[in-house]
């Protein structure tokens, strides 16, 4: 059992991962940091135990000293535990923040997911993670159809542009496929990821163009880095073809992580001349440099901010979204804890796309729901699409009575032209 | 409209990413093979996504049209 899983895991265990497994002293500091374990008390959710399960399975394979060591044969029970340990994780890296050695369970989870996916035991159907693969494949297929679709796509963007002109500014433009533009903005599916950005770029007088693609990269969630790179290549090729100076990613945590942490590694020299950034820090810089102006106190509803794991803990953008919120909202209340110690919403790691995971997500979001309730805020603002969907589901599930918004929604609504 | 009957309609307007694809995939799996799904969307991004999804899953995009700013897609379940 688990032959392929073990083969691939062994193959992909690099030095840091080997080091993580060897150095963990089982101190338990990571235990209560994990929102899954905090809600379930299921040992397979303890971050160190997630690593231990893989380690035991590997040892069971290769050592004749099994009877003496803590090795374990890969039996049915173990398979199901490993499956839980790998899939019921949002890759938030909160555990690593609490670990005295910074051991990064999420890195092993990424390898473990990829290995499980290749095991081909039909686990895809059980965990529903086949859906993540399906979306990842569609993202790559887009590259093959985009030329045929381009004209139709641009026509549709023009219709959207007309609507935004009517409601906001008659001279606003949503350029697509514009050669020589400074910024290539890569949106998400949904007007909410296009319209606020278009308003802000317009107000700032930015020279921008919108991508024909979207920023999400679902292959990344299953640790399939070869396919993740294939999807990212579509964006790089577009940026090179248009000759832009910068690629800007939207309010999407995992996509921003691929852009800021992986593009350089994947594309080296090819990407060297192109700046990469997330929309939040860019908009914060517009405000700081006076390129945009907003109505101070435009929002007087009590408001709180959820740090998306991939933007905050894993990206270092803590103050930029706060500076934008403070500029427009008069009553900002912090979640406790916040910034690097913020609780994950429970929807990351691709779980939002897996319908079978809904109940698990709601359970794992318990800490988040309580944090929000304690603030008494009426609006919860964040800067990641997955977080927005999960927070919306938590709102319903826990009866929080809040509204969920994006940071750029707030800014766009308060712009002074 | 061409010669097919719609078995099910899905309104993907206003959904967060990647829900238009997730819901379509779920809905199609509930339908009979050969059945036609009508999908409603308003956002250009979801148009490209849905067409790419049809291509990568082998489902057939029969028709697409725009009415009052709403896009309608007709997708036949192939497998
Ligand atoms: S990365 Fe997050 S979800 Fe995964 S084990 Fe660590 S704390 Fe838990
Ligand atoms: S905090 Fe670090 S060293 Fe301690 S048990 Fe967890 S992973 Fe191991």
Strand B60-67 relative to strand B70-76, pairing: antiparallel
Q: Is A131 within a domain?
A: no
What are the tens digits of pLDDT across the range A268-320? 999 999 999 999 999 999 999 999 999 999 999 999 999 999 999 999 999 99
Give, using CA atoms, the residue closest to atom 8 of ligand 1: A34
Q: Domain boundary at A230, A263, A287, which?
A: A287
Residue A30 CB–ligand 2 contact under 6 Å: yes
Q: Model confidence over A369-409: pLDDT tens digits?
A: 999 999 999 999 999 999 999 999 999 999 999 999 999 99
- The answer as to whether A202 is a domain residue is yes
In a domain, B43, yes or no: yes
Give how many domains chain B has, as a whole number: 1
Residue A257 in any domain: the answer is: yes
- Give the domain CATH number at B33: 3.30.110.40
Protein residue with its CA nearest to atom 5 in ligand 2: A26
Q: Report the DSSP pairing between strands B36-41 and B6-11.
A: parallel
Task: Provide the residue range defining the domain that includes B44.
Answer: 6-76
Same domain as A307, residue A207 = no
What residue in A sits closest to B14 (Cα-Cα)?
A190
* Domain end marker among A255, A271, A287: A287
**CATH classification at residue A321:** 3.40.50.10700
Q: Is residue A294 part of a domain?
A: yes
pLDDT more than 70, % of chain A:
94
Per the domain annotation, does A136 fall within a domain?
Answer: no
Mean pLDDT of A40-48: 97
Containing structural domain, residue A216? 143-287
Within a domain: B1: no
Which residues in chain B touch residue A388, judged by CB atoms under 8 angstroms apart? 16
This model of the complex carries an ipTM of 0.93
**Can you tell me the distance from the alpha carbon of A54 to that of A48, in angstroms, rounded to the nearest whole number?**
10
Q: Does residue B23 sit within a domain?
A: yes
A309 and A377 belong to one structural domain: yes
Model pLDDT for residues A242-256, shown as the tens digit of each residue: 999 999 999 999 999
Q: Flag whether A134 is in a domain.
A: no
**Residue A218 domain flag:** yes
A264 neighbors A295 (Cβ within 8 angstroms): no
**Chain A residues with CB-CB distance to B27 below 8 A:** none
Measured in angstroms, the CA of B26 and the nearest CA of chain A are apart by: 9
Judgement on whether residues A394 and A405 belong to the same structural domain of the protein: yes
User: Is residue A70 predicted with pLDDT exceeding 60?
Assistant: no
Task: Report the nearest atom of ligand 1 relative to the CA of A50.
Answer: 5
For residue A22, the domain's CATH number is 1.10.1060.10
> Which residue of chain B is at minimal alpha-carbon distance from A388?
B16
pLDDT at A118 over 90: no
Across the interface, whether the CB atoms of A135 and B21 are under 8 A apart is answered yes
Q: In this structure, are A293 and A411 located in the same domain?
A: yes
From A37, A89, A351, mutation site for ligand 1 pocket: most ligand atoms within 8 A of C-beta: A89
- Decide if A132 is inside a domain: no
Q: How many CB atoms lie within 10 A of CB A32?
A: 13
| φ, ψ (nearest 5 deg) of residue B39 | -125, 135
Q: Are residues A327 and A387 in the same domain?
A: yes
Residue B14 contacts residue B46 (beta carbons within 8 Å):
no
Residues of B with CB under 8 A from a CB of A: 14-22, 25-26, 42-49, 51-53, 55-57, 66, 69, 71
Which of B11, B13, B17 to mutate against chain A (most A CBs within 10 Å)? B17
Residue A80 shares a structural domain with residue A15? yes
**A-B Cβ pairs (cutoff 8 Å, strict):** 99
Residue of A nearest to B27 (CA): A355
Q: Are residues A246 and A169 in the same domain?
A: yes
Q: Are residues A101 and A175 in the same domain?
A: no
As for how many domains chain A has, the answer is 3
Residues A148 and A281 in one domain: yes
Which residue ranges in chain B fall short of pLDDT 70? 1-2
> Are A268 and A183 in a shared domain?
yes
């Amino acid at each position: 059992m688990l032959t392929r899983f073990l083969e691939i895991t062994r193959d992909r265990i690099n030095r840091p991962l080997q080091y993580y497994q060897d150095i963990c002293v089982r101190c338990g500091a990571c235990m209560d940091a994990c929102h899954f374990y905090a809600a379930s008390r299921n040992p397979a959710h303890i971050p160190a135990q997630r690593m231990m399960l893989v380690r035991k399975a590997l040892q069971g394979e290769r050592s004749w000293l099994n009877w003496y060591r803590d090795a374990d044969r890969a039996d049915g029970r173990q398979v199901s535990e490993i499956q839980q340990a790998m899939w019921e994780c949002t890759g938030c890296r909160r555990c690593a923040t609490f670990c005295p050695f910074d051991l990064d369970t999420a890195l092993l989870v990424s390898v473990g997911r990829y290995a499980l996916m290749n095991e081909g035991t039909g686990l895809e159907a059980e965990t529903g993670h086949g859906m993540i693969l399906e979306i990842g494949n569609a993202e790559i297929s887009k590259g093959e159809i985009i030329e045929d679709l381009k004209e139709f796509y641009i026509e549709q963007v023009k219709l959207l542009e007309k609507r935004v002109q009517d409601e906001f500014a008659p001279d606003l433009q949503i350029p697509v496929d514009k050669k020589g533009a400074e910024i290539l903005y890569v949106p998400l599916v949904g007007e909410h990821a296009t319209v606020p950005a278009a308003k802000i770029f317009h107000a700032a007088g930015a020279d921008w163009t919108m991508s024909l693609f979207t920023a999400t990269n679902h292959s990344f969630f299953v640790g399939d880095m070869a396919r993740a790179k294939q999807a990212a290549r579509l964006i790089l090729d577009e940026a090179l073809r248009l000759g832009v100076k910068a690629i800007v990613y939207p309010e999407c945590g995992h996509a921003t992580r691929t852009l800021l942490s992986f593009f350089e590694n994947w594309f080296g020299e090819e990407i060297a001349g192109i700046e990469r950034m997330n929309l939040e820090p860019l908009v914060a810089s517009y405000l700081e440099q006076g390129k945009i102006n907003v109505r101070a106190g435009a929002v007087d509803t009590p408001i709180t901010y959820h740090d998306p794991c991939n933007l905050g803990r894993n990206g270092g953008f803590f103050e930029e979204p706060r500076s934008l919120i403070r500029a427009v909202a008069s009553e900002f209340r912090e979640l406790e804890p916040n910034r690097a110690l913020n609780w994950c919403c429970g929807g990351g790691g691709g779980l939002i796309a897996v319908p079978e995971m809904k109940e698990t997500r709601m359970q794992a979001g318990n800490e988040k729901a309580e944090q929000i309730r304690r603030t008494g805020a009426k609006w919860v603002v964040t800067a990641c699409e997955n977080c927005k969907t999960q927070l919306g589901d938590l709102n319903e599930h826990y009866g929080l009575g809040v509204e969920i918004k994006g940071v750029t929604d707030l800014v766009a609504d308060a712009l002074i032209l | 409209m061409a010669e097919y009957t719609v078995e099910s309609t899905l309104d993907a307007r206003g959904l967060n990413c990647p829900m238009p694809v997730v819901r379509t995939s779920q809905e199609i799996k509930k339908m009979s093979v050969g059945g036609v799904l009508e999908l409603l969307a308003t956002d250009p991004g979801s148009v490209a996504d849905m067409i790419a999804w049809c291509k990568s899953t082998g489902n057939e995009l029969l028709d697409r049209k725009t009415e009052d700013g709403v896009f309608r897609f007709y997708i036949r379940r192939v497998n």
